[in-house]
Structure 1
């Protein structure tokens, strides 16, 4: 019997009441480690991909080709339902068509699109510009119509809270849901009260809460977000922020002292690192093939 696709698995999971905790990353290693840790889904973040894979800020410098490359690298080594941040779809209707079908062919479970104008920027930055409702709606309809697999989850995000206020963001999410979005997402709410309003006003379908540490939105636990009505607790860039802090601190220490010994207890050992990279499975495969060839020479 053919196993269920990641898209089907995620779609069925979202029908359950319990919230899904989804960490994010931007490199294949981060996505692989998320899967190894037992999370039910991983998020390929536009912010984290720009930072960890390309070393640039999330201000519209990374487009379809770079995201496709990052997804391909991640899905080759990580067996976990993957939600991909596809920004604006990288253009209009035909670009959205290409984006959705390209992501599906790489095996992603969910595709997130947003209503910012290009060049977009991180949802927790200022000076965001959103498309008109008409443009946002036609691009969402293109994403839905372009799907090759009806199980592929379409997440529609609005960034309207910043430039136009919460009421406009709520209305856009209602519009997105009416048009067929599977999940809706108000990015950048600025208080607990706003999170409560979103959970109440958009009840009736899955909602995303973005827990971007040190961003605009207050941090809550997954349990607290579930009580407010959210279905996905997204931690999109925590791993890359940890990497920046720890690597900078280590390099400053190494430059000053020329000695890494004080950091050894905070590092994965060589053995642990190799294990995370699945070296044991590769060696076992190699040993089995070599033994078989030795037993049955050509």
Structure 2
């Protein structure tokens, strides 16, 4: 855990954060990217020393709606979450835009909206709307021409050329590995800055994906379809990012069940007191000391 106090006054402007994401991607050294479904989680990710953060659509749906990842978010939900995280976390933020919330025009409009909210990068995928979690069964993908049109719309819509557009394909579970690789290649040729091949099912597939001619994102899901190689293997393979989209969420769920379960069973927190962050640590993480200083400055005390 970092020993520095949190700062709410970030010097990085949006273009600087977007350039930072590009620079990280270009290194191809499998940078770990945890997912956040809210601003507090993003601040914890920054505090621990990670270099980038991912706004997970599944995590946002689970945490804000208490519902599964079945395309139940609205564009406003996503834009609000993007703005909240960008306002309080200085890390470059890659935002999961799902299918773009409709056709190519919707993707164009929502790219503009999320860019204004502070996204450093956006991810667009080729599932049929309403989409499903990438590791659920029963997925379907749109025709290649449709997703390439949406991708072009995202690329054209961005006002800041440093903002990265990440193209994701879920075709592996629908059309097979070879067809999904063809889609990924076409996405790269269309101009995708990052490629996200969802749910490969073997180490051999992972190695093949790493050879695609664009920086790659590999999503590792505990209990999902994809094997979980050692980080050193993924770094050697040349992935740019290794995504743990909902590790923080899963840890939070487990911790809440443990602590609140003990409270319910015993009527106190005595047995789980060591599982709780201290009051002062919670205030540090949300920047209370700095806000107290600001208040004293402006109130003249």
User: Structure 2: where are the runs of 5+ without partners?
Assistant: 1-10
The answer for the alignment partner of 1:285 in structure 2 is 294
Alpha carbons 2:170, 2:199 under 8 Å: kept? yes
The answer for the alignment partner of 1:151 in structure 2 is 162
Alpha carbons 1:6, 1:107 under 8 Å: kept? no
- Deviations, residues 43-75 of structure 1 (Å, cap 9, x unaligned): 000011001122111011113121112112212
Q: Distance in 2 between matches of 1:268 and 1:31?
A: 17
TM-score (normalised: structure 1) = 0.93
Q: Distance in 1 between matches of 2:44 and 2:113?
A: 24
Query: Could you tell me how far 1:148 is from its partner in structure 2?
Result: 0.5
TM-score (normalised: structure 2) = 0.93
The answer for the alignment partner of 1:267 in structure 2 is 276
Q: Match of 1:264, SS?
A: helix
RMSD: 1.5
Q: Out of 20, 43, 55, which is 2:66 matched to?
A: 55
- Deviations, residues 126-149 of structure 1 (Å, cap 9, x unaligned): 100100001111111111111111
- Deviations, residues 211-249 of structure 1 (Å, cap 9, x unaligned): 111111111233221112211111100011111111112
Instruction: Give yes or no for the alignment of 1:166 onto 2:177.
Output: yes
Query: Could you tell me how far 1:89 is from its partner in structure 2?
Result: 0.4
Tell me which structure has the larger Cα radius of gyration.
1
- Residues 2 and 209 from structure 1, CA distance in 2 versus in 1: closer, same or farther, beyond 3 angstroms? closer
The answer for the alignment partner of 2:88 in structure 1 is 77
User: Structure 1: where are the runs of 5+ without partners?
Assistant: none
Q: Out of 244, 260, 278, which is 1:251 matched to?
A: 260
Q: Match of 1:15, SS?
A: helix
- Residues 96 and 161 from structure 1, CA distance in 2 versus in 1: closer, same or farther, beyond 3 angstroms? same
Alpha carbons 2:29, 2:241 under 8 Å: kept? no
Q: Distance in 2 between matches of 1:111 and 1:80?
A: 14
Query: Could you tell me how far 1:2 is from its partner in structure 2?
Result: 8.3
- Deviations, residues 259-284 of structure 1 (Å, cap 9, x unaligned): 11111111100011111111111112
Q: Out of 26, 29, 34, which is 1:15 matched to?
A: 26
Q: Out of 13-22 and 44-53, give the one that drifted further.
A: 13-22
Once the two structures are superposed, the pairs formed by residues 176-255 of structure 1 within 5 Å of their partners are 176-200=187-211, 202=212, 204-255=213-264
- Residues 17 and 2 from structure 1, CA distance in 2 versus in 1: closer, same or farther, beyond 3 angstroms? closer
Query: Could you tell me how far 1:165 is from its partner in structure 2?
Result: 0.7
The answer for the alignment partner of 2:113 in structure 1 is 102
Q: Out of 108, 121, 127, which is 1:116 matched to?
A: 127
Greater RCO, 1 or 2 (C-alpha within 8 Å, sep 6+): 2
